[in-house]
């Protein structure tokens, strides 16, 4: 349990929202929270630097509400991915401070600790910088998922859109930005060539995210995935098809560790 979570627990005890026995039970808990149909990992921030992110696809609204509420009770800002639009009205009713990004299909709720103790509960200061680059506008939903993830992590993001290899003259105009950042997330479908091109210009890690954009022989992103895996640019690494969250998360870890712990 980190300091903001411990402060939040103590505040709930002080305000009479938590019994002494429940306070002690949560202090002694092994970092897990059993719910009706899921088991939350509340110790992940201590181990891995960031708390659990909710994968929303296939989960019932009731399940999501229970998970969000438990995370908020622990002082965790909620990030949920792959949230279908039809679930959003019920989620906003339960969490009026929530925000839905329809393009990224992400749902975020600010931590309760930040609302109750602004001077102590604010997120960590922003550190590092990542650029998210798209080959085309069809790749925007995946790129937006990466951007939302980086924003949740407290990593400043610069978005560079529609600079795919069909018009390679568009990329050099952004080289000043690309050579400044700590990592680049490149989101591309079709043949997946853009990460190799970007990798040939920069000295930082390039996290390639293949998308399922393309015609029949793209095989729903498999062609882009294989092309990126076979990149001859040594600084390119690859995540799964349409995995904007994973691409953003890995790039965010790189950026924040490059700049060390916050003061």
Per-residue pLDDT tens digits for 196-238: 999 999 999 999 999 999 999 999 999 999 999 999 999 999 9
Nearest-CA neighbor of 160 among 202, 127, 130, 204? 130
Residues 105 and 213 in one domain: no
How many Cα atoms occupy the beta-carbon half-sphere of 155 within 13 Å? 34
Per-residue pLDDT tens digits for 19-55: 887 777 666 555 666 566 777 777 777 777 788 899 9
Residues 82 and 135 in one domain: no
Q: Which domain holds residue 152?
A: 130-258
263 vs 261: CA distance, rounded Å: 6
Kindly state the average pLDDT of the residues 58-65.
Answer: 94
Nearest-CA neighbor of 130 among 210, 186, 86? 186
Under 8 Å between Cβ of 11 and 119: no
Report yes or no on whether pTM surpasses 0.85.
no
Quickly state the pLDDT bin for 186 (edges 50, 70, 90): very high
Residues 108 and 165 in one domain: no
The percent of residues in the chain predicted with pLDDT above 90, rounded, is 67
Residues 84 and 135 in one domain: no
Q: How many domains does the chain have?
A: 2
Check which CATH number belongs to the domain holding 219 and give it: 3.40.50.1970
In a domain, 263, yes or no: no
Residues 254 and 174 in one domain: yes
Residues 95 and 199 in one domain: no
The mean pLDDT value of the chain amounts to: 87
């Amino acid at each position: 349990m980190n300091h903001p979570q411990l402060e939040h627990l103590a505040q709930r005890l002080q305000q009479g929202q938590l019994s002494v026995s429940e306070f002690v039970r949560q202090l002694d808990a092994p970092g897990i929270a059993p719910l009706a149909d899921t088991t939350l990992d509340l110790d992940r921030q201590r181990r891995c630097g960031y708390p659990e992110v909710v994968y929303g696809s296939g989960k019932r609204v009731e399940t999501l509400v229970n998970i969000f509420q438990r995370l908020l009770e622990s002082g965790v800002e909620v990030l949920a991915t792959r949230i279908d639009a039809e679930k959003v009205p019920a989620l906003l009713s339960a969490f009026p401070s929530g925000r839905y990004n329809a393009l990224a299909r992400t749902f975020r709720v600010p931590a309760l600790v930040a609302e109750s103790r602004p001077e102590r509960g604010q997120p960590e200061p922003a550190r590092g910088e990542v650029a998210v680059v798209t080959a085309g506008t069809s790749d925007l939903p995946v790129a937006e998922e990466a951007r939302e993830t980086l924003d949740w992590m407290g990593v400043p993001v610069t978005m560079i859109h529609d600079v795919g290899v069909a018009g390679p003259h568009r990329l050099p105009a952004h080289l000043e930005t690309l050579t400044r950042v700590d990592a680049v997330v490149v989101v591309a479908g079709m043949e997946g060539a853009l990460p190799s091109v970007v990798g040939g210009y920069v000295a930082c890690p390039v996290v390639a995210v293949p998308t399922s954009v393309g015609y029949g022989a793209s095989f729903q992103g498999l062609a882009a995935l294989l092309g990126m895996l076979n990149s001859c640019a040594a600084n390119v690494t690859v995540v799964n098809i349409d995995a904007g969250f994973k691409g953003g998360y890995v790039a965010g870890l790189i950026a924040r560790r490059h700049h060390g712990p916050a003061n």
